[in-house]
Structure 1
Amino acid sequence: MFKKILIANRGEIACRVIKSARAMGIQTVAIYSDADRNALHVKMADEAVHIGPPPANQSYIVIDKVMDAIRQTGAEAVHPGYGFLSENSKFAEALAAEGVAFVGPPVGAIEKMGDKITSKKIAKEAGVSTVPGYMGLIEDADEAVKISNEVGYPVMLKASAGGGGKGMRIAWNDEEAREGFQSSKNEAANSFGDDRIFIEKFVTQPRHIEIQVLCDAHGNGIYLGERECSIQRRQQKVIEEAPSPFLDEETRKRMGDQAVALAQAVDYASAGTVEFIVDGDKNFYFLEMNTRLQVEHPVTEMITGVDLVEQMIRVANGEPLTIKQEDVKLNGWAIESRLYAEDPYRGFLPSIGRLVKYRPPEEVVQADEVVRNDTGVFEGGEISMYYDPMIAKLCTWGPDRATAIEHMRNALDGFELEGIGHNLPFLSAVMDHPKFTSGEMTTAFIEEEYPEGFEGVELDRDAVQRIAASAAAMHRVAEIRRTRVSGRMSNHERKVGTEWVVSVQGEDIPVSIEADHDGSTVHFDDGRTHRVASDWTPGDSLARLSVDGSPLVLKVEKITQGFRIRSRGADLEVRVRSPRQAELAALMPVKVAPDTSRLLLCPMPGLIVNVAVSVGDEVHEGQALCTVEAMKMENILRAEKKGVVSKINAAAGDSLAVDDVILEFE
């Protein structure tokens, strides 16, 4: 077995590989850029080598720099993780020339399957059903428009060497095809060093289901069930689960057998994933093969008990698989939520900054519950604009789907994260959404259910009452603490009021509290009562309560006359006032937000790629105004209405913060 492995990656996947290698008794080497000098993967590895400036194309994807790190440390093998050089055949060739093992498939398999144009041709020749499209090279935007019309809108423009949603656009008309072609080429060049683009028919109402395969160099190949990855935005997965709630055993076997046959047709040896688009009648179409470990591999590990990283290392060491297809049993259900540094209230645009607070839920391994958090960050660390915005992958397992979802709800409720915009509220909202809980979702879920963007969750009456009761009980505890600190009352509890008005979600709710040593009984005007018990003390940012015997976890922050409470995707200002205070508060004027309708504000920290208009130009609704790049993604900002540009405050190459003014209108 190898004695030392270098991980040619960063972030959570580098940390993940280090864990398996350490369990196998293998030493690890990390590589890092200037931006990652204090990163978690650097701290976890036995050795670390600096490889250059923050941009990936000057550090992590520069093959010569990675090879130098290998020579410096004497690493015998390299695990590439995903992204970066993981599907780069030239990197695999460089390793082979140096006599270093690549923890991944052979060069030939990478070349045939890693290139999406080539892989589709091979799949078609092998009799695998494929999505209609044009696999040839596309020279320019005009040709892209012509081909798009021949294929028929809507179409998907995709980077041949792409992955992770980079270099990918959906076009519904000629204008979007033209713009999408250029943006896809730019993103592909920046992320992968390869700007080739292909076009295929975009299948509407699809489900994204992928098969995990595992093959060795001795002709053995198995599949380890499937993963459903239909909750996506911008073609990047957000929530994955295994198995799929949609497949039956017969379809699973047909997809699995076909995936293994395709892998073996190119002499595949390692872990890999064959992705399919599946329609409502369970017809499936080959989409692509990822010749690497997938981001969502933990859910497969959780339902099969197979450590995929360990298996990859063993295969790279020349060992035959010890697992046969009949040994693979799918046990229970697993869900992965990708925690991203992006603001769901701003159209999921990237967010960067310091993690002022980062406290994930405690990891659990029990007979009926597993909680796992794969991460590459820590409290006080920085989220950089240079890399993928993923912070962590929170995974839960349960004996069935409903239980796994409930474990995920509780884990998300207990995940504390402050300092940057993040998608925790959105993830929580999905876990309670009827389409998700029923399993009746497609890849259009976010576009269909949140067409105007995510604006938080409006809680139902029962949830509002539970939170109102909890806030009243917590306020009582805070008032008792306050009277103790002031020293004004010797018998403080007698002087704390029992009548309060809780203002939440636009409603004033009168309550009365009966307290005892075990908790509080909160009475409402409609005759309902809720029994609240908790060991929460003022200042705690997480309140773990029991309401009528059921658990409730709230993120709590003190504000004037109440709390900011976050729960199940809702972000609430909850005021707890005496009846007289509530009466006076109702007379206070409402603060009016400033008018920014004549300004184009930068929606995220990023780099201005281009400004498409000039002072004096008349623009129309939907017209492209400028392009901002952040975290390897290009974002085109468009006019919301007709107007005339009066001032331009930024130019290509400028770095802007959130809400910096880019353009002004008359």
Structure 2
Amino acid sequence: MFNKILVANRGEIACRVMRTAKAMGIATVAVYSDADARAPHVLMADERVRLGPAPAAQSYLDPELILAAAKATGADCIHPGYGFLSERESFARACADAGITFVGPPPAAIAAMGDKIESKKLARAAGVNVVPGFLGEIADTEEAVRIAADIGYPVMMKASAGGGGKGMRLAWSEQDVREGFEATKREGLASFGDDRVFIEKFIESPRHIEIQVLGDRHGTIVYLGERECSIQRRHQKVVEEAPSPFVTPDMRRAMGEQAVALARAVGYHSAGTVELIVSGADTTGQGFYFLEMNTRLQVEHPVTEMITGLDLVEQMIRVAAGEPLGFTQDDVRLDGWAIENRVYAEDPYRGFLPSTGRLVRYNPPKTSVRAGDAPIVRVDDGVTEGGEVSMFYDPMIAKLVTWAPTRDAAIDAQIAALDRFELSGVGNNLDFLSAIMQHPRFRAGALTTGFIAEEYPDGFAGAPADATLQRQLVAVAVIADLERSARAGGIDGQLGGAASPSTTRVVTLAGQSFAVSVDGYDGGALVHIDDAPPLDVVLRWRPSQRVVVARIDGDEVAVRIARRIGGWRLTTRGAAHDVRVLPAHVAPLTRHMIEKVPPDTSRLLLCPMPGLLTRLEVGAGDRVEAGQPLAVVEAMKMENILRAERPGVVATVHHAPGDSLAVDAVILEFE
């Protein structure tokens, strides 16, 4: 077994690998860029080595720096995590040349499967179903247009070395190809150092299902069931679960055996994933097509670990050390259901724009371990309160994983955990994830990769609150407000006298007003809302609390709570609710308040996110039409095209390509 492992990565996956290494008694080495000097993975390691400046190309993507760190610290193996150098064949070979073990597959397998064009050719030769498309070199946009027309729209343009949702463009027409082909090439070059692009038929209403394979150096290869990864946005996975609610045992066997055959054909060992696109209309169990093989540990590996009981990182390390797996396919058992939600630094209320900044508050829900059939909560993260979400790296903050004996129970555990997740300082998608978990279509398992676009065509505005939840929120707000008033009344001079004994309030929520009164009793209160039967509420609130857990008529309700002028902001079940709570004699006076009118920004093109202005398509005096591209802003390694919302004439341009822009920076003005 190895003595010391260097983790050539950052964030949650670096912490994840180190936890297993430490449990195995292996010393750990962290590498870091200047942006990560105080990151959790750096503090967690036994040793640490600075690589260079924040940009990944000058730090985490420089193989010479990684190898120099390994040699300087005496590390005898390197785990690459995912992303960065994890699927770079030249890095695996360089490790071998340096006498350092690469914890992953052999270089030849990485080369065979890492090139998306060549891997499809290999899969086709091996008898694996592949999506119809053009797998040769595409010289320019004009050739791409001809190829797309021959295949038939819609088509998908993909960077040959792509992954993680980067370097992909869906084209429904010739115009989409002309606008997206060069952007796909640039994203591929920027993220993977390879600007080759291939084009294939886009299968509409598909499911994205992947098979986890694991092999040793002695010829044993097994598959560990499937993961359903159909809930995606811009080809980036958001929710993953294992097993899939769609896959039958026969279908699982067919997929698994084909995945193992493909892995065996390229001499694969270590952990890997064969990704498949599956026709949701197929009932034969054979309607699946090979997409690609990821020759690394997947982001979503925890759901497989939860249902198999295996530690995939440990298995990778043991395989790299030459140990046999010690089990066969017949020994693999799938137990229960696991769901993973990716918590991203993005704002779903503003079109999922990336968000950067400091984590003012970060307090994930409490984790748990297996105890019979009770639900399990697991949080994989690599951030801490006060840390910074940087524009240089992926916006994922954490992975929230739940396990339960059934799918419904695992979903319910996710909802409860999301309600308890405290996160502020950057935009985040906690509400959106909770809304997905509650969505009837998700709970029914009717999933496709178009789920988000189909169910939220006009964007996300929060999960709707039914009448029962609204009444619960009213009760929580009133009791918290009474507690606050009582505390203020006990502090000399806070209220100018004794606190009012009145427990009558007028509460405004979602445009509705409720008359509320409270009758307290030892240990709880009866909350009367209008003329409805009272709610029996047990709740204690303190000013320092950010999450309150109330028991209302026997049901447990967790609410993230924040004080607002004249009321409260209560966040639960996928939405934030502004609740105004006023004494009955004060409430009528609100009609005299002047409403603040937001400023008119219709003549301005604002930068929707922090990023780099890479292109400006217009100049002062130019006339533009609705939908015309105006500028391109790069953020989180993705190009974002800003378009005109209406016809107009450009009056003034405030920025030039190469400028770094803050959110809401004015790029240009119209007449």
TM-score range, shorter chain: over 0.9
Provide the residue aligned with 1:286 in structure 2: 290
What do the CA deviations read for 1:352-394 (whole angstroms, capped 9, x no partner)? 0111111011111133121111111100011110000001001
Contact kept in structure 2, 1:57 and 1:191, CA below 8 Å: no
The reply to whether residue 362 of structure 1 matches residue 366 of structure 2 is yes
Provide the residue aligned with 2:428 in structure 1: 422
Contact kept in structure 2, 1:3 and 1:26, CA below 8 Å: yes
Aligned partner of 1:456 among 438, 449, 462 = 462
Contact kept in structure 2, 1:479 and 1:496, CA below 8 Å: no
1:485 is paired with a residue whose SS is: coil
* 1:186-265 to 2 correspondences below 5 Å: 186-265=186-265
Provide the residue aligned with 1:303 in structure 2: 307
Contact kept in structure 2, 1:536 and 1:544, CA below 8 Å: no
2:425 partner letter? G
Provide the residue aligned with 2:490 in structure 1: 484
Residue segments in structure 2 that go unaligned for 5+ positions in a row: none
* 1:490-509 to 2 correspondences below 5 Å: 495-509=500-514
* TM-score normalised over the length of structure 2: 0.97
Report the Cα offset of residue 405 of structure 1.
0.7
Report the Cα offset of residue 490 of structure 1.
14
* 1:249-648 to 2 correspondences below 5 Å: 249-280=249-280, 281=282, 282=285, 283-365=287-369, 366-367=371-372, 368-486=374-492, 495-648=500-653
The reply to whether residue 651 of structure 1 matches residue 656 of structure 2 is yes
Contact kept in structure 2, 1:12 and 1:374, CA below 8 Å: yes
Structure 1 CA distance, aligned partners of 2:592 and 2:347? 34
The percent identity for this pair of structures is 58
Runs of 4+ in structure 1 over 6 Å off: 487-493
Contact kept in structure 1, 2:489 and 2:497, CA below 8 Å: no
Q: Which moved more, 1:416-425 or 1:577-586?
A: 577-586
Contact kept in structure 2, 1:57 and 1:190, CA below 8 Å: no
Give the total of aligned pairs: 665
1:503 is paired with a residue whose SS is: strand
What do the CA deviations read for 1:514-533 (whole angstroms, capped 9, x no partner)? 11121111112242321111
* TM-score normalised over the length of structure 1: 0.98
Report the Cα offset of residue 419 of structure 1.
0.5
Provide the residue aligned with 1:94 in structure 2: 94
What do the CA deviations read for 1:34-91 (whole angstroms, capped 9, x no partner)? 1111111111111111111111111111111111111111111111111111110000
Q: 1:519 to 1:340 in 2, by over 3 A?
A: same
Contact kept in structure 1, 2:488 and 2:494, CA below 8 Å: no
Structure 1 CA distance, aligned partners of 2:352 and 2:401? 21
Provide the residue aligned with 1:110 in structure 2: 110
Report the Cα offset of residue 168 of structure 1.
1.0
What do the CA deviations read for 1:12-41 (whole angstroms, capped 9, x no partner)? 101100011111111111111111111111
Report the Cα offset of residue 307 of structure 1.
0.3
Structure 1 CA distance, aligned partners of 2:248 and 2:357? 44
1:626 partner letter? A
Provide the residue aligned with 1:172 in structure 2: 172
Structure 1 CA distance, aligned partners of 2:628 and 2:83? 33
Q: CA RMSD in A?
A: 1.5
Q: Which moved more, 1:42-51 or 1:523-532?
A: 523-532
Report the Cα offset of residue 211 of structure 1.
0.5
Contact kept in structure 2, 1:396 and 1:408, CA below 8 Å: yes
Structure 2 CA distance, aligned partners of 1:147 and 1:310? 45
Provide the residue aligned with 2:159 in structure 1: 159
Contact kept in structure 2, 1:521 and 1:529, CA below 8 Å: yes
1:149 is paired with a residue whose SS is: helix
What do the CA deviations read for 1:327-349 (whole angstroms, capped 9, x no partner)? 11111111111011111112111
2:631 is paired with a residue whose SS is: strand
Structure 1 CA distance, aligned partners of 2:453 and 2:533? 38
What do the CA deviations read for 1:107-147 (whole angstroms, capped 9, x no partner)? 11111111111111111111111111111111111111111
1:622 partner letter? G
Structure 1 CA distance, aligned partners of 2:635 and 2:68? 29
Report the Cα offset of residue 102 of structure 1.
0.8
Structure 2 CA distance, aligned partners of 1:399 and 1:429? 22
Report the Cα offset of residue 413 of structure 1.
0.6
1:651 is paired with a residue whose SS is: coil
Provide the residue aligned with 1:120 in structure 2: 120
Structure 2 CA distance, aligned partners of 1:22 and 1:86? 21
Structure 2 CA distance, aligned partners of 1:140 and 1:44? 47
1:665 partner letter? F
Contact kept in structure 1, 2:40 and 2:382, CA below 8 Å: yes
What do the CA deviations read for 1:142-196 (whole angstroms, capped 9, x no partner)? 1111111111111111111111111111111112112211111111111111111
